[in-house]
Structures are given as C-alpha cells and as structure tokens.
Structure 1
Amino acid sequence: MLVLVFILSGLIGYWVITKVPSLLHTPLMSGTNAISGVTVLGALIAVAVAATTSSKSLAMVAIVLAMVNVVGGFLVTDRMLAMFKKGKGKGKE
C-alpha cells in the first residue's frame, strides 16, 4: 500500500511541477527548501528518541542527506535568482 502511495505521489508531483510556469519556479524552490527543513527536524528527533545504535546511525545518515538536500536547494535557488540580476557589480539590491 505504501509503495502505491509513493508511486502516485511521485506521478502527481511530476504532473504538478510540469504545469508550473517558469516564472514561478524560484518561489516554488524556496518553498520546497522550507519543507525540506522540516525533514531535518524530523531526523533530529529520530536521533533523540533512537533506542539502538543502528537506529541512531540511520537517523544520523538521514540528517546528513536532508542537509545535503537543503543546501543544494538553496544553491540552486541562488543561481536562479542570479539570472534575474541586471549585471555583476552594478547596483546592489
């Protein structure tokens, strides 16, 4: 059942993203980064309540992967925002 939910959410997510106009991709990425921050918090809670060493290790891996996702998202968003700037060194915003 969970596999079916995963597949359907992936397909619906792909469909929704393809329908978003290109001007809205940057705000959408910023919102997605905020949601990814919640994943980091969930992984931190998982480390705090982990009972065994293996579950604590798995939760630490989740923290690292979630942080890679958040940092990568912010880097991509920064690059997208840089495309909208007029020129380098001209006028600071």
Structure 2
Amino acid sequence: MKNRLPVENAGDTDVCLFIEPYGEDFWMKPADAFEVVPMGDANVQFSVVIATGLITVWLYEDGDPYNMLLDYEVVDANGKKLECGHQRPGDSGGI
C-alpha cells in the first residue's frame, strides 16, 4: 500500500490544507477527513507544518528535501478526488 497522509479537522472552524510546491488549497470544514495520496511507487516522506487555520504539506521522495514529489491527489473520506480550491471560502484572502 502507498504511503498516505490522513488529515482530519477536529476543530470547530475551517482549516486550509495547503500542498506545496504548487500552493494548492483544499478547505476542510469541522469533522472533514482528507488524505494526501502520492502517485507512483516512490517512497514518500511527508513534511507537515501547522499554523492557526493552516496545514502545509510537502512530499519528498525517499526523504530527500531536494527531491520533491509533484504528483499527488487529495481525496475525501469516500475516496473521491478533490480539486484545488475545494470548499474555499469567499473571503479566504487569496490563499
């Protein structure tokens, strides 16, 4: 099975899941659960940075910070692929 990064919003406000290096945003409402799924067969290491209302994820092949994995999907709890901007609030300030 591929490496997957499950992410869940256990809070009571929306949270932005931000995937680098493309800067794609996926907004999580309270109780939402998403997974970041790398494509291909690479050995992936995830780097996660958390700030108020924001979770930023980087994917590295073989843990090498100079070898970013650029092909991934974000899926919801039902396995449905989500598009960049999923549930983006109207006043997100361009995140």
1 or 2, which has the higher helix percentage?
Answer: 1
Which protein is bigger by CA-based radius of gyration? Answer: 1
Class of the TM-score when normalised by the shorter of the 2 chains: under 0.3
1 or 2, which has the higher strand percentage?
Answer: 2
TM normalised by structure 2 equals: 0.24
